């Protein structure tokens, strides 16, 4: 059994002092111990000085997976992305902004930050090179084909042909030329299988397109950029 007296002797101040002196002597003396301590402090201070502080970040919305243009954003399409302030793209939408349900105007890759010009709205029109444009939705007769080959950013001509029910022109006529596609929501649910396409047009083009939509079937012709 352990002798309590031995433990009591080991805890006496003089015994503790002897143990400390022996430890100092083992590492080469008090001066060497102090020198080693100062060196350790200096190394830690140097490391802290050369290690940059973590950059301040901003949390923005990003695409959770590859997205097609011309469709409303769902909650599952969005992911929060923390970016350093210096790398945040212009117009990036903060995660505090409600974007679910808004129309995506152009395709996005997974992880790409969502900016204001990616959404159908005033910001998108403001980003177009020509001022004074308006957004006009039209329903095209070949909606399924348009959804398959036309994408946001394409330039198209819009042709009108006779609508059997409305009595339009017998031969195709051009209503608007080189108008930009903003969004392609997809085929419509009408009996004619037409699909909705949103175009950026001048006010005069928009008026002509609206008038043609009332009595004719509209078709898109893709132009070279």
pLDDT given at position 189: 39
> Which regions of the chain does DSSP assign to beta strands (E)?
57-63, 71-72, 78-84, 103-104, 134-140, 155-162, 173-187, 195-201, 216-223
Tokens describing residue 79? 């992911």
Q: What is the pLDDT of residues 152-211, one digit of tens each?
A: 788 899 998 876 655 555 678 899 999 988 877 654 434 344 577 888 888 899 889 988
**How far is Cα 44 from Cα 21, in angstroms, rounded to an integer?**
27
- The phi, psi pair for 93, rounded to 5°, reads -90, 120
Helices (H) and strands (E) in the chain — how many of each?
6, 9
Report the predicted TM-score, pTM, of the whole model to 2 decimal places: 0.52
Q: Say if CB 153 and CB 181 are below 8 A apart.
A: yes
Q: Which two tokens stand for residue 118?
A: 């990616």
Question: Which stretch of 24-28, 52-56, 57-61 has the lowest confidence by average pLDDT?
Answer: 24-28
For residue 37, give the H/E element and its range: helix 30-50
Tokens encoding 68: 């097609």
With H, G, I as helix, E, B as strand and everything else as coil, classify residue 1: coil
pLDDT of amino acid 187: 47
Residue with tokens 């004074």: 132
CA gap 118, 70 in Å, rounded: 10
Q: By the 8 A CB rule, do 197 and 137 touch?
A: yes
């Amino acid at each position: 059994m352990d002798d309590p007296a031995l433990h009591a002797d080991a805890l006496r101040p003089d015994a503790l002092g002897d143990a400390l002196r022996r430890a100092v002597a083992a590492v080469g003396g008090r001066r060497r111990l102090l020198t080693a301590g100062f060196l350790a402090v200096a190394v830690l201070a140097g490391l802290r000085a050369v290690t940059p502080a973590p950059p301040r970040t901003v949390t923005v919305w990003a695409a959770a997976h590859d997205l097609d243009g011309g469709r409303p954003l769902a909650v599952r399409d969005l992911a929060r992305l923390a970016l350093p302030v210096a790398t945040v793209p212009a117009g990036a939408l903060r995660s505090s902004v409600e974007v679910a349900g808004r129309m995506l105007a152009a395709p996005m890759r997974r992880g790409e930050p969502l900016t204001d010009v990616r959404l159908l709205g005033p910001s998108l029109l403001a980003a177009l090179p020509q001022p004074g444009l308006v957004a006009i939705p039209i329903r095209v007769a070949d909606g399924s084909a348009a959804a398959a080959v036309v994408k946001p950013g394409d330039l198209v001509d819009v042709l009108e042909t006779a609508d059997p029910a409305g009595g339009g022109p017998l031969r195709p006529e051009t209503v608007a030329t080189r108008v930009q596609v903003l969004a392609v929501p997809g085929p419509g649910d009408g009996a004619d299988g037409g699909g909705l396409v949103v175009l950026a047009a001048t006010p005069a083009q928009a008026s002509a397109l609206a008038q043609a939509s009332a009595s004719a079937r509209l078709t898109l012709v893709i132009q070279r950029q």
